Copies of this chain bind each other. A is one copy, B any other.
Amino acid sequence: MGEQLDLSLLLPITGFIALVVAAVSARLVLRESQGPPRMREISAAIHEGATAYLKRQYMTIWTFALVIAAILLFIPGWGWRGAVTFLAGAFSSTLAGFVGMHVAIRANSRTANAARGGVSKALKISFRGGLVMGMTAVGIGLLGVLFFYTWFGSPGLILPYGFGASAVALFARVGGGIYTKTADIGADLVGKLEAGIPEDDPRNPAVIADNVGDNVGDVAGMGADLFESYVASIIAAMIVGVTVQTTYGSAAVVFPLWVAAAGIGASILSIFFVRVKKGKDLSYALNSASIAAITITAIGSLFIAGYMFGFATGWPLFVPVLSGLVTGLVVGLSSDYFTNRIHRPARFIARSAQSGAAINMLTGFSVGLLSVVLPIVGISAAVIISFMMAGLYGICLAGVGMLSVTGVIVASDAYGPIVDNAGGIVEQSKMPSRVRKTTDSLDSVGNTTKAICKGFAIGSAALTAIALFAAYASPQMANIQTLNLLDSTVVAGFFLGGATVALFCALTILAVGRNAFRMVKEVRRQFREIPGLMEGKAKPDYKRCIDIATHGALKELIVPSASALVIPLAVGFILGKAALGGFLAGSIGVGLVLALLMANAGGAWDNAKKYVELGHFGGKGSKTHTAAVVGDTVGDPFKDTAGPSINILIKLMSWIALISAPLLLA
C-alpha cells in the first residue's frame, strides 16, 4: 500500500480542476448582463472603492510580509527557503482573495439585474460568484502545499507557507473587519437614525463604503481566514503524520492531502444540489449542497483510507475525518440556531428589547454565552474520539476533515455579501419593490449561510489551532512530550494566552469605535454642508467616506496586529517553550469562548432587529426597534471585527510558536 506514482498525479489534477471550476463559474457570471446603466454605475463605484482599499491593504500587508521574510532569512533552520515559502503563502492568500473578491463584486449587479426576472437565476449567479472564491481558495491551497512538499520533501519546511497565509489573513480580517463596521455604523447611525432615510439609500454618503465593506470584510476577509485554516490543517496533519510513520507508513504524511482532494471533488459535485425547489425554503438549496459535500467527502475518505492503509488500519483514520466533518456541521447549525430569526433565541431577544436597550443587551449577551456550550461539547467530543483513534495525528485529521469542504462553505458564505450588495444596488437604482423583495429573500438565506460559515470558521480555527499546537509539540518542532499544567511557567503562559486574546479584542473594538467616530463626523458634515442632498438633488461625496474607512482601517490594524506577533515571541523567549505551549492552550480556550460569544451574540442581535423590522413588537420606528438597533450596533464589531479576528489570532500565534520553535530550542 502507500501512495503510488500514477495515482498521486490525481492530487495536482484535483487542484487544477478546482481552478477550472472557478474559471468556468467566473465566465458564467461575467457573461450575464450587468443591467441598466444605473446598476452598472453603482457596481462600478463599489468596485472602485473595494479595489482602492485592497490595493492599499495589500501594500501594508506586503511591507510587513517583506520584513518578516527578511527576518526569516536570518533565522537558522529557515533561511531563504523559509522566506520564499512564506512569501508564497502570503501571495497565494492575496491572489485567492483578489480573484474571489473581484468576481464577487462583478456578480452583485448581475444578481441585481437577474432578480428582476425572479429568484432562480439570481440565486445561481450569486452562488456561482461565491463559488469562484471558494474554488480558487481550495485549488490554490492544495496546489501550493503540494508544490512545496514535492520541492522540499519535508512537511516541516512547508510551515512558512501557512504562516504567510496567516499573516495575510490577520491583516485582511482585522483591516476588513474594521473597514466594514466603520462604514456600517457610520451609514446606520447618521443615515438611518439621525436623517431617517432607509437602508442603502443613495443619499447616504456612506452607502457605497458600506457596500464595499461587505466585500472586503465578508468576502476577502473570510476567504483569507478559511484559506489559512485550510492549508494550516493540512500542513499540521502532515507534520504530525511524519511522527506516526512507524505505525502507518509514509502514507500518513500524504493522507491529509488526499482527504483534501476528496473534499474538493465532493464540493464540486455538490454544486449540482444548488437548485431552487418549489415549496422549499431557499436556504434548503444552499444547505443541501453543504450536506451533500460533507456526505460525499466522508464516503470518499473511507475509501481512500481503506485503499491507502487497508481497511483494518484505515478505518481508525477515517473516524477522525468523519468526526471533523460532523463537528463542522454541528458548530454551524448551532450558530444558525442561536442567530437565525426563525428560531427561539433571536425572537427571545427581540421580545426582551421591549424592556429597552439594556435588557436587550443583557439578553443577547446571555444568548451568546449559551451558544458557546454546544460547539465546545462538539469539539471536545471530536478531540476525544479522534485521539482515541489515532492520537494527536487523529486530532489533526479531524481538522483536515472539517476543512475539506471549505470550497462549498466559502462559496455559500461569499454568496451572502453578493446578494446583500445586490439588494443595495436594487434599492439605489430605484427598482420596483418586487425586485427588492426577491433580493431580500435571497439575502435572508445569505444571513443563514453567513451564520453557519461563521460558526464553521470558528470551529475550524479551534481545531486547526489544536492541530498546530500538536505540531508545535511534536518531536521535529519544540519536542514537548508532556505539557504539564502543574508546571508554573505553563500555568503562567496559559493565563497570559487568555489575557492576550482579551487585549486583542479590546484593541480591535476600540479601533472600530475610533474609526466609526470619524465616519460619523464626515457623514454628518456632508448632510449639513452639501445643499440639496436630502432632497436627492445633489450627490454625496462617496469617495471621502471610502477614504476615511480605508485610511482608518489600515492605521488601526497596526497595534493589534503587532501585539499578536510580538507577545507570543516574548512569552517564548522569556518563559520558555513550555510556557509558550501553555500560552497557546490558554489563547485557544479563552479565544474559542470569546469568538463564539461575540459572533453569535452579534448575529442574534442583528436578526432580532430584523425580526422587529418585520413588524413584531411594534415594528420599525417603535421604542422596541430603537432598543434593537442599539443591540445590532454593539453586535456589529462583535460579529464582524473582534469575533472573527480571534480565529486568526489563535492560529497566527500558533504559527509564530511553530516558526520560532528552532530558536527556542537553541
Binding site for B on A (CB under 8 A): 189, 352, 355-359, 361-363, 365-370, 372-373, 376-377, 379-381, 383-384, 386-388, 392, 395, 466, 470, 473, 480-496, 498-499, 501-503, 505-507, 509-510, 512-513, 516-517, 520, 575, 581-582, 585-586, 589-590, 592-594, 597, 629-630, 633-634, 637
Determine which of B356, B377, B513 lies in contact with A362 in the assembled complex, contact meaning CB atoms within 8 Å.
Answer: B513
The docked-state distance in angstroms from the alpha carbon of A381 to that of B574 is 12
Determine which of B366, B383, B503, B629 lies in contact with A370 in the assembled complex, contact meaning CB atoms within 8 Å.
Answer: B503
Known: A387-B487, A586-B589. 10 other contacts (CB 8 A): A189-B355, A359-B516, A362-B509, A363-B510, A369-B502, A370-B502, A381-B492, A384-B575, A481-B486, A491-B585
The docked-state distance in angstroms from the alpha carbon of A496 to that of B372 is 10
Give A481's nearest chain B residue, CB to CB: B486
19 A/B residue pairs, CB under 8 Å, sorted by A: A352-B513, A356-B630, A357-B630, A359-B513, A359-B633, A361-B630, A362-B637, A363-B510, A373-B499, A376-B498, A377-B496, A380-B493, A383-B488, A383-B492, A384-B488, A384-B489, A395-B488, A481-B486, A498-B592
Residues of B within 8 A of A367 (CB): 506
> Which 4 residue pairs of A and B lie closest in terms of their CB atoms, listed nearest first?
A387-B488, A358-B633, A369-B506, A380-B492
- Would A589 and B498 count as touching, CB distance under 8 A? yes
The docked-state distance in angstroms from the alpha carbon of A358 to that of B629 is 9
Distance between A38 CB and nearest chain B CB, rounded to angstroms:
33
- Would A498 and B369 count as touching, CB distance under 8 A? no
Give A193's nearest chain B residue, CB to CB: B356
Please give the count of copies of this chain that the complex contains: 2
Residues of B within 8 A of A395 (CB): 488
Distance between A186 CB and nearest chain B CB, rounded to angstroms:
11
Determine which of B357, B483, B629 lies in contact with A485 in the assembled complex, contact meaning CB atoms within 8 Å.
Answer: B483
Residues of B within 8 A of A490 (CB): 485
- Would B373 and A503 count as touching, CB distance under 8 A? yes
- Would A486 and B491 count as touching, CB distance under 8 A? no
Give A374's nearest chain B residue, CB to CB: B499
Determine which of B361, B466, B482, B502 lies in contact with A597 in the assembled complex, contact meaning CB atoms within 8 Å.
Answer: B502
Residues of B within 8 A of A493 (CB): 380
- Would A509 and B466 count as touching, CB distance under 8 A? no
- Would A486 and B480 count as touching, CB distance under 8 A? yes
Distance between A595 CB and nearest chain B CB, rounded to angstroms:
12
The docked-state distance in angstroms from the alpha carbon of A358 to that of B628 is 10
Q: A488-B386, A492-B383, A498-B593 are in contact. Are A510 and B366 (CB under 8 A)?
A: yes
| Most B CB within 10 A of own CB, among A362, A498, A506, A586 | A362
- Would A482 and B488 count as touching, CB distance under 8 A? no
The docked-state distance in angstroms from the alpha carbon of A377 to that of B497 is 10
Residues of B within 8 A of A366 (CB): 505-507, 509-510, 513
- Would A505 and B380 count as touching, CB distance under 8 A? no
Q: A492-B383, A499-B377 are in contact. Are A485 and B358 (CB under 8 A)?
A: no
Give A579's nearest chain B residue, CB to CB: B384
- Would A585 and B488 count as touching, CB distance under 8 A? no
Determine which of B383, B590, B633 lies in contact with A590 in the assembled complex, contact meaning CB atoms within 8 Å.
Answer: B590
- Would B372 and A503 count as touching, CB distance under 8 A? yes
Distance between A9 CB and nearest chain B CB, rounded to angstroms:
36
Give A489's nearest chain B residue, CB to CB: B384
Residues of B within 8 A of A593 (CB): 498-499, 501-502, 590, 594
- Would A376 and B482 count as touching, CB distance under 8 A? no
- Would B488 and A485 count as touching, CB distance under 8 A? no
The docked-state distance in angstroms from the alpha carbon of A582 to that of B482 is 14
Distance between A184 CB and nearest chain B CB, rounded to angstroms:
12
| Most B CB within 10 A of own CB, among A380, A387, A505 | A380
Q: A359-B513, A498-B376, A586-B589 are in contact. Are A383 and B491 (CB under 8 A)?
A: yes
Give A594's nearest chain B residue, CB to CB: B593
The docked-state distance in angstroms from the alpha carbon of A630 to that of B483 is 45
Distance between A398 CB and nearest chain B CB, rounded to angstroms:
10
Give A181's nearest chain B residue, CB to CB: B362
The docked-state distance in angstroms from the alpha carbon of A484 to that of B469 is 13
Distance between A518 CB and nearest chain B CB, rounded to angstroms:
12
Distance between A191 CB and nearest chain B CB, rounded to angstroms:
14
Give A506's nearest chain B residue, CB to CB: B369
Distance between A383 CB and nearest chain B CB, rounded to angstroms:
5
Give A510's nearest chain B residue, CB to CB: B366
Q: A362-B512, A485-B485, A498-B590 are in contact. Are A189 and B383 (CB under 8 A)?
A: no
Residues of B within 8 A of A491 (CB): 380, 383, 466, 585
Give A598's nearest chain B residue, CB to CB: B365
- Would B488 and A388 count as touching, CB distance under 8 A? yes
The docked-state distance in angstroms from the alpha carbon of A586 to that of B372 is 14
- Would B495 and A589 count as touching, CB distance under 8 A? yes
Give A490's nearest chain B residue, CB to CB: B485
The docked-state distance in angstroms from the alpha carbon of A554 to that of B369 is 22
Residues of B within 8 A of A489 (CB): 384, 387
- Would A485 and B377 count as touching, CB distance under 8 A? no
Give A501's nearest chain B residue, CB to CB: B593
Residues of B within 8 A of A357 (CB): 357, 630
Residues of B within 8 A of A480 (CB): 486
The docked-state distance in angstroms from the alpha carbon of A491 to that of B483 is 11
Q: A488-B386, A491-B383, A517-B355 are in contact. Are A499 and B634 (CB under 8 A)?
A: no
Residues of B within 8 A of A516 (CB): 359
Residues of B within 8 A of A597 (CB): 502
- Would B582 and A485 count as touching, CB distance under 8 A? yes
Q: A383-B488, A395-B488, A513-B359 are in contact. Are A502 and B590 (CB under 8 A)?
A: no
Distance between A345 CB and nearest chain B CB, rounded to angstroms:
11
The docked-state distance in angstroms from the alpha carbon of A161 to that of B495 is 29
Q: A355-B520, A384-B575, A485-B582 are in contact. Are A499 and B630 (CB under 8 A)?
A: no
Residues of B within 8 A of A582 (CB): 485
